[in-house]
Structure 1
Amino acid sequence: MILRRSPDHRRARQLAASPRGALPEGALRRYLAQPFPPLGADHTSLRLLAVDLETTGLDPDHDRIVSLGFVPVDGTSIVLGGAGQVVVRGSGGLGQEGVGQSATVHGLTDDAVAAGAELTDALDLLLEALTGRVLLAHHAAIEQGFLDVACRRVHGQPLPTLAVDTMALEHRLVTAGWQTGWDREPPQGGLRLPAARERHGLPRYRSHDALTDALACAELYLAQVAELGRGRPVTLRQLTKGG
């Protein structure tokens, strides 16, 4: 199953609909006030936001976001005019020791991160872009986990998300066809973003830049939908539940 929501998504949406004051006006309230697209919507009309986060590690309870990038996808079009990227500096005492060894992955130095935006501003920028859209990411659980923890720290509330995971879609595609020489399952690393893009004939991009990876994910998604649908519309339900 690729459908993932925060366990507290009903409570969060109730807060958005409750009388003024329960949840302050702002990006989170506007995000929560908009329902997710219906599961019956097909991909030609679906509005998504491809998101990538660069972090200091893989544990959202102990590591932090150092940059985020996003690119809207409207139907079968990537909307570069709506793309955005921001470097995020540490806040609340978390990660004040610097980016550590993660700099060798994402290339952001302590000085670059120290000059970045506050987490509150970066999160609100992303929430504005994500409002009314489905989150699209490669191994989406990582983005969902970090964004949920960030929202709890900044706003004291969980962040419900509905996500399409291009890694899970790729697993479905390659195991359905059993690639030549594979024993039912992809080889180690065979589902990573560069490998998945290569299988679809997409160009190779530099990895671990948040905006570039978000764009790479968006392009991969369009190639996957074309293969899944074979010229026919694919519903959000199919994209999120494997149907």
Structure 2
Amino acid sequence: METTGLRPARHSIVSIAWVPVNGRSIDLSRAGYHVVSGTPGVSVGSSAIIHQLTDEDLAAGIPESEAIEQLLHALRGRVLLAHFAPVEEGFLRAACRRHYRQTVRLPIVDTFVLERRHMERMGTYPRGEDLRLPRARERYSLPRYPGHHALHDALGCAELYLAQTVRRAATGETLGDLPHSGT
């Protein structure tokens, strides 16, 4: 997700994307991306500098309820994969409360947590920038993508997860070794 800020109570979702991972492959045929229409009279303001979506782009987008419905449909029977999942978790929880008057519980795998745990096991204690998606991808020699675009970030997270999976297999780590979260 791309948002106008980090606080679901004060900020809005401006775009949503997903890229399914099936085993050890990425299924681009089932990927999705939507710009989310903004609230009339509310501007994206300076957040447009980061995600490159203007008020005009949002005016042409789909309603948040429709974007959330499509995301939840894509997640049916799956695990939410995200890099620094608390952002997606918080915005998804808030949107579900707004549109469905209830929240959703999803199993979540967070590539940020996977990377932090790996670095700590290796005796490296990462600082904030070390764990950002582009920096983590760089350590695996993955290609660079433009940042702060929901679809690029979803694909980048999927690729990072697969690279982490290969590394985990080589070191004997399992997902069961990690704490799980869910909304």
How far apart, CA to CA, are the structure 2 residues paired with 1:170 and 1:232? 15
Do structure 1's residue 61 and structure 2's residue 9 form an aligned pair? yes
Partner of 1:223: 163
1:131-168, Cα deviation, whole Å (9 max, x unpaired): 00000000001101100100100111112121100001
Partner of 2:111: 166
Do structure 1's residue 145 and structure 2's residue 85 form an aligned pair? no
Partner of 2:54: 109
Equivalent pair of 2:38/2:55 in contact (CA under 8 Å):
no
How much has 1:176 moved relative to structure 2? 1.2
Counterpart selection for 1:192 from 132, 136, 146: 132
Counterpart selection for 2:74 from 124, 129, 134: 129
1:52-95, Cα deviation, whole Å (9 max, x unpaired): x000000001101000110000111100101000000124x7xx
Taking a change above 3 Å as real, the CA distance of residues 188 and 123 of structure 1, as seen in their structure-2 partners, is closer
TM-score (norm 2): 0.93
Q: Where in structure 2 are there 5+ consecutive unaligned residues?
A: none
Equivalent pair of 2:15/2:33 in contact (CA under 8 Å):
yes
AA at the equivalent of 1:54: E
How much has 1:188 moved relative to structure 2? 3.5
Partner of 1:209: 149
How far apart, CA to CA, are the structure 1 residues paired with 2:23 and 2:128? 32
How much has 1:225 moved relative to structure 2? 1.1
Partner of 1:100: 45
AA at the equivalent of 2:115: E
1:170-224, Cα deviation, whole Å (9 max, x unpaired): 001111113xxxxx41134000000000011111111011001000000000111
1:107-137, Cα deviation, whole Å (9 max, x unpaired): 0010000110001111111011000000000
SS of aligned partner of 1:85: strand
Partner of 1:70: 18
How far apart, CA to CA, are the structure 1 residues paired with 2:58 and 2:179? 34
Do structure 1's residue 82 and structure 2's residue 82 form an aligned pair? no
AA at the equivalent of 2:27: V
Aligned length: 180
How far apart, CA to CA, are the structure 1 residues paired with 2:158 and 2:179? 16
> Hey, which of these two has a bigger chunk of helix by percent?
2
Q: Point out 4+ residue stretches in structure 1 off by more than 6 angstroms.
A: none
TM-score (norm 1): 0.71
Do structure 1's residue 157 and structure 2's residue 105 form an aligned pair? no
AA at the equivalent of 2:95: A
- What percent of counterpart residues are identical? 49
Equivalent pair of 1:57/1:63 in contact (CA under 8 Å):
yes
Taking a change above 3 Å as real, the CA distance of residues 232 and 173 of structure 1, as seen in their structure-2 partners, is closer
User: Which structure has the higher relative contact order (CA within 8 Å, separation 6+)?
Assistant: 1
Q: Where in structure 1 are there 5+ consecutive unaligned residues?
A: 1-52, 179-183
| Coordinate RMSD, CA, aligned | 1.6
